Amino acid sequence: MINYNELVLSKKTEEEVQESEHEIILMEKFDFSENRMTINLENITGIEEINKSINWDFDALKLRFPLRLRRPKEGDEFYPLGFSGKKKVSKFFRDEKLSILARQKIWLLTDGENSVLGVVPFRQDRRYSRDENTEAVLKIFNKK
């Protein structure tokens, strides 16, 4: 039974603390002789909770490596594709009406300078997306 009039606090186990601080390195560098590389998120262990399909194309020349997946932190912001201006990730969560439990399962794709490239699996940052001048493409996808 759930009682919404009570707040229950519990101490996290060591495993829960390590998992919340967990980050996954996706790609150390880009081989520019290829002009196109892909990362399939389905093949990465530890991120099984991504249950939505994504298909993002990045301009690899705009990215700073290594690329990482990590949990959101206070103050994270990005420029969502399809929106004008920048948005704090926490505000994006509220706008998407995500529950607190759902927010805890979200991963951020970040670059070598810790800039948010996308909120997985919702929205890519438009500053790094592929455009008509793109020469080298990095595709990140997940088919759920």
What's the pLDDT at 52?
81
Q: What is the pTM of this model?
A: 0.80
The whole-angstrom distance between residue 14's C-alpha and the CA centroid of its chain comes to 24
How far apart, in whole angstroms, are the C-alpha atoms of residue 143 and residue 52?
7
**Is 98 inside any structural domain?**
yes
**Is 14 inside any structural domain?**
no
**Is 56 inside any structural domain?**
yes
**Is 7 inside any structural domain?**
no
pLDDT-flagged residues of the chain (< 70): 1-21, 46, 48-49, 144
What's the pLDDT at 9?
56
> What total number of domains does the chain contain?
1
Peptide bond into 121 cis (omega under 30): yes
Strands 137-142 and 36-40: parallel
- Token pair for residue 98? 């995500």
**Is 74 inside any structural domain?**
yes
